[in-house]
Amino acid sequence: MSTQVRYKEIYRALMRDIAEGVFSGGEKLPTEQALAERFGVTRQTLLKALNIMKLEGTLRSEQGRGTFVNAPAAPRPASGLRQLVYIASNLQESLAHRALVGVESAAHRHGFSLVTCNTRNDAEREAEYLRRARSGGAAGIILIPYFQRNRELALRIAAELPLVCLDNSFATDAIPLVASDNFRASYEATRHLIGLGHRRIGFLLTTLEAAREVDSVRNRFEGYRQALADAKLEFDPALISELGPALSHMRPSDVGLELFSYPAMNRLLHLPCPPTAVLLLWDELAPGAIAAIRDTRREVPRDVSLVGFNDDELCTLITPRLSTVRQDGEAMGEAAVRLLAERINRNAPIPPRTLVPSRFINRDTTASLTK
């Protein structure tokens, strides 16, 4: 298809998005690169369409800020569907999947239909689903956000219709959060290891950036540090090992379970004074960690104790069976729908935070320190 035809198609598609309220007046468009990828064209082809819309007054450019919509916001259509939209950062993750079971069950009980969207850890896709939920007349949105990139968009939409975040938040009381009590769960798991005599306890996570930006990761990290402090144990940054930026945006299936966390665990094991116990950010880090431990002629839990997080099915399928923290994802999903239903049906306020208890499951990967 010729460039001449493609830029006209892009023009029509963007004008339709604006007319339908996918992009509201005053709202910033996705980046030129993101739009070019969406339409499968070069940046030059995309710019032809954008330039026409700027000449017509539909769009405007702001130096250093991007391209914005001048058109007035389209009115949000009234919906007779009583529809909820569930937007998850990655439905392959066990928590997102279990939460969906709770969301679906509760939505049915409360008389809502349900649309499910999987952003695949893509911030632009997340933004598109949020806009379409708004323009499509959704009664409410449940969002597992991917980092903080769409904070301002989520705040604007939350001012227009009920929106609840699940598991992770945008660090604002303006958008309610339903989550596991990650701080308490991590604190208690660390205290369990301390009670077994461990004094050098590592923490294996995705990235330190995630510990700053992602609510659940930050709370687990802070729970770990607080447990150390309460036991008068010094925090040692050397005992924190990251998967790194590349692996942190992948799933274990992309590289293999026994390879995914292997390098990060291997680094801890080759410290001059390695940890005798390690907390894992998720259960799926366990196979790689166990492989690295065995390759250094150590055993779990004789030489290194491990504790995971989530209680995935793999916990009882690997050897030894993984001790972990069980999150009740189904209860989280049900709570999110219940809060939305109360807001939609009775205009009841939604509390800023609703925490669902977790439970430590002690299996075969923790033991008393013997050396």
pLDDT in tens, 6-65: 888 999 899 888 877 788 888 899 999 989 999 999 999 999 999 989 988 899 999 888
Q: For residue 81, what pLDDT band results from cuts at 50, 70 and 90? A: low
Contacts of 351 (CB under 8 A, 6+ apart): 176, 339
What's the distance, CA 170 to chain centroid?
A: 11
| Overall pTM > 0.95 | no
What's the distance, CA 117 to chain centroid?
A: 13
Percent of the chain's residues with pLDDT above 70:
95
Q: For residue 172, what pLDDT band results from cuts at 50, 70 and 90? A: confident
CA 23, CA 253: separation in Å to the nearest integer? Answer: 35
Q: State the alpha helices, DSSP H only, in the chain.
A: 3-19, 32-39, 43-55, 94-109, 123-135, 151-158, 182-195, 208-213, 215-230, 245-248, 252-255, 257-260, 262-269, 286-295, 329-346
Which amino acid is located at 17 in the chain? D
pLDDT in tens, 182-211: 999 999 999 999 999 999 999 999 999 888
What's the distance, CA 256 to chain centroid?
A: 21
> Could you give the 3-state DSSP secondary structure of residue 44?
helix
pLDDT in tens, 284-332: 999 999 999 999 999 999 999 999 999 999 999 999 999 999 999 999 9
pLDDT at 64: 87
> Could you give the 3-state DSSP secondary structure of residue 279?
strand
Does residue 129 surpass a pLDDT of 90?
yes
Name the most confidently modeled range: 46-50, 258-262, 332-336.
332-336
